[in-house]
Amino acid sequence: MDVHRAPDETASLALGFELRIAAFRFSRRLRAERVVDTMSDAHFAILSAISSHGPHTLGELAQRERVTAPSMNYAVNALEQAGYVVRATDAGDRRRVRVALTARGAEVVTETVRRRDAWMDDALAELSDSDREVLRRATVILNEIADR
């Protein structure tokens, strides 16, 4: 034990480490449930954002995903070439271009979400009622932490 740290601080650091590793492993396993194995997580996040929030400009997508506009342009170009998104002139402002899902892109999002939900349902079904209740409470706490 570090002689310079109080026992509570050391326990808190250990919990933080364990939680970070568990969250990383869980997220990685959940992300493995996808339709297109060759699609990056970043590309799927773009499709998911458009699916959830509608067509975006490149700048809006870049801001949402916390990347630079050139990086987003590169990603959207790849998604467009693969047939998952299209660029269309904004009906309200003809100077703006919005990125929208194609039917193929929407299908990828829908099926990937379905697979991830099915995996989660199967995993949760194997747990006891008390363990599921712990996860319900943990969900609230994790959302509170994420909102800070």
How is residue 21 written in tokens? 């590793």
Q: Domain check: are 64 and 80 in the same one?
A: yes
pLDDT tens per residue, range 78-121: 999 999 999 999 888 888 999 999 999 999 999 999 999 999 99
When the pLDDT of each residue in the chain is averaged and rounded to a whole number, the result is: 92
Domain count, the chain: 2
With bands split at pLDDT 50, 70 and 90, how would you rate the model's confidence at 5? Answer: low
Structural domain for 7, as ranges: 1-31
Q: Domain check: are 24 and 72 in the same one?
A: no
* Phi and psi, residue 13, nearest 5°: -65, -40
**pLDDT reported for residue 54:** 95
Q: Domain check: are 104 and 132 in the same one?
A: yes
Q: Domain check: are 74 and 98 in the same one?
A: yes
Count CB neighbours of 54 within 10 A. 11
CA 111 vs CA 5, 21, 35, 143: distances in Å: 48, 28, 7, 25
Q: Is the dihedral of CA 108, 111, 115, 118 positive or negative?
A: positive
The residue type at 135: L
With bands split at pLDDT 50, 70 and 90, how would you rate the model's confidence at 3? Answer: low
Query: Can you name the residues that pair with 99 across neighbouring β-strands?
Result: 56, 87
Q: Domain check: are 133 and 67 in the same one?
A: yes
Q: Domain check: are 60 and 128 in the same one?
A: yes
Q: Domain check: are 26 and 37 in the same one?
A: no
pLDDT tens per residue, range 19-37: 999 999 999 999 999 999 9
- Provide, rounded to the nearest whole percent, the portion of the chain with pLDDT above 90: 84
